[in-house]
């Protein structure tokens, strides 16, 4: 079959440049296959994270022609309609380690701050929940933590507000916990004050890049914004909750 040119960013924190590699193609080939070919035949030092090569682990996140993608789910033929090279760069929102590998440790540090699921002591054993009660959180739990949504979010990508915004991935994690029928923790304060949900202005870029097709904005972030607004911006609601002793 035909060859394709990959134009891959090579370098580290001190700088770098694009390099071109010729790679033979085969049916069903994904961009990660092309990276593997380069490692085996052109340069064994080309750094790239990967693990499952089946779209399930979320390791091989990168940017193809400027768009965040999983390399293992990006079909080469989708990029060969013209004769231009396939340009592969590391995620832009995170510090570069080397070539296609970036330092995504910030995501883990933020995630650690979110208290895990905590059922009330008197929650029934076993839990009794209807499917319709868990449909929405199951959608959020499909997340494979590829961090493409974090990469594309302009609050992190362009404004680097990692100091005050947790990003779509962690908001979805909070949504999943907050909407669990048996979670007993009050999480809205964290959403508002620490996670910075107010920063999100609903451009839905995160939803567009999600390889699991999670409706982050519509099903997760917007309902969370409403929940936060209930408590912070509606004095009547606030007072009635206070008086009724509800969270």
Partner 1 sequence: MEAYDTYEHDVLVIGAGGAGLRATIAAAEAGLNVGVVCKSLLGKAHTVMAEGGIAGALANLDKKDSWQVHFMDTMRGGAFLNNWRTVELLAKEAPERVLELERYGAVFDRTPGGLIMQRPFGGHTYRRLNHVGDRTGLELLRTLQDRAVATGMKCYMEVAITRLLKDGDRVVGAFGYYRETGRFLVVKARAVILATGGWGRMYQVTSNSHDSVGDGAILAYDAGAELMDMEMVQFHPTGMIWPPGVRGILVTEGVRGEGGVLRNAKGERFMFDPKYTPPAYRGRHAETEEEAARWLEDKDNNRPPPELLPRDVTSRAIYREVLAGNGTEHGGVYLDITHRDPELVKRKLPSMYEQFHALGDVDITKQAMEVGPTIHYTMGGVRAEPDTCATTVPGLFTAGEVACGVHGANRLGGNALCDLLVFGKRAGEAAAQYAQTATHGTIDETQIREESEILLAPFESSGTENPYLLTQELQAAMQEGAMIARTEEGLSQCLSQVLELQRRAKNLHIDGSRLFNPGWHTAREIRFMLKISEIIVRCALERRESRGAQWRTDYPDPDPEWAGKNLIATKDGDAVKITTRPVPQIPAELAQLFEGAK
Which residues of the shown chain bind partner 1 in the complex (CB under 8 A)? 12, 26-30, 33, 36, 39-40, 43-59, 73, 75, 97-99, 101, 104-105, 108, 111-112, 115-117, 119, 123, 125-131, 134, 137-138, 141-145, 177, 180, 213
3-state secondary structure of 235: helix
User: Least CB distance from residue 245 to partner 1, whole Å?
Assistant: 26
The alpha carbons of the chain give a radius of gyration, in whole angstroms, of 21
Shortest spacing between CB 158 and partner 1, in angstroms: 25
Whole-angstrom distance, CA of residue 215 vs CA of residue 209: 10
Quick one: which of 185, 174, 182, 183 has its CA closest to 140?
A: 174
Helix or strand (DSSP H, E) at 12: strand 3-12
Smallest distance, partner 1 to C-beta of residue 201, A: 28
CB of 48 to partner 1, least distance (A): 7
Of 61, 83, 88, the closest CA to residue 72 belongs to 61
Question: Which C-beta is closer to partner 1: that of 3 or that of 130?
Answer: 130
Nearer residue to partner 1 within complex by CB, 208 or 241: 208
Closer to partner 1 at the Cβ: 126 or 235?
Answer: 126
Q: The tokens 């990006």 sit on which residue?
A: 74
Q: Please, what is the minimum distance in Å from the beta carbon of residue 3 to partner 1?
A: 16
Residue found under tokens 């509800």? 246
Q: Compute the least distance from the CB of residue 138 to partner 1, in Å.
A: 6
Closer residue to partner 1 in complex, CB, 34/205: 34
Whichever of 69 and 157 has its CB closer to partner 1, that residue is: 69
Tokens at residue 45, please? 């030092």
> Toward partner 1, which CB reaches closer, 112 or 163?
112
Measure the CA angle with vertex 225, ends 222 and 230; round to 5°.
Answer: 130
DSSP single-letter state for residue 75:
B
**Omega of the bond prior to 126 within 30 degrees of 0, cis?**
yes
Residues 31 and 78: their CA atoms lie apart, in Å, by 10
């Amino acid at each position: 079959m035909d060859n394709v040119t990959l134009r891959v960013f090579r370098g580290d924190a001190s700088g770098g440049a694009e390099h071109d590699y010729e790679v033979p193609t085969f049916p069903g080939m994904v961009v990660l296959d092309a990276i593997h070919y380069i490692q085996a035949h052109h340069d064994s030092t080309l750094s790239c994270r990967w693990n499952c090569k089946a779209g399930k682990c979320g390791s091989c996140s990168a940017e193809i022609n400027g768009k965040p993608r999983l390399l293992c789910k990006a079909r080469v033929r989708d990029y060969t309609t013209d004769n231009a090279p396939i340009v592969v760069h590391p995620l832009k929102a995170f510090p570069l380690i080397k070539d296609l590998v970036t330092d995504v440790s910030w995501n883990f540090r933020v995630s650690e701050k979110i208290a895990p699921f905590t059922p009330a002591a008197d929650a029934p054993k076993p839990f009794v929940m209807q499917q319709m009660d868990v449909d929405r959180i199951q959608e959020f739990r499909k997340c494979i933590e590829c961090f493409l949504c974090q990469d594309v979010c302009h609050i992190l990508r362009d404004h680097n507000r990692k100091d005050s915004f947790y990003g779509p991935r962690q908001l979805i994690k909070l949504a999943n916990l907050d909407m669990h029928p048996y979670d007993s923790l009050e999480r809205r304060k964290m959403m508002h004050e620490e996670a910075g949900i107010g920063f999100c202005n609903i451009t839905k870029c995160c939803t567009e890049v999600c390889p699991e097709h999670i409706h982050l904005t519509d099903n997760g972030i917007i309902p969370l914004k409403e929940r936060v607004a209930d408590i912070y911006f509606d004095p009547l609601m606030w007072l009635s909750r206070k008086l009724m002793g509800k969270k």
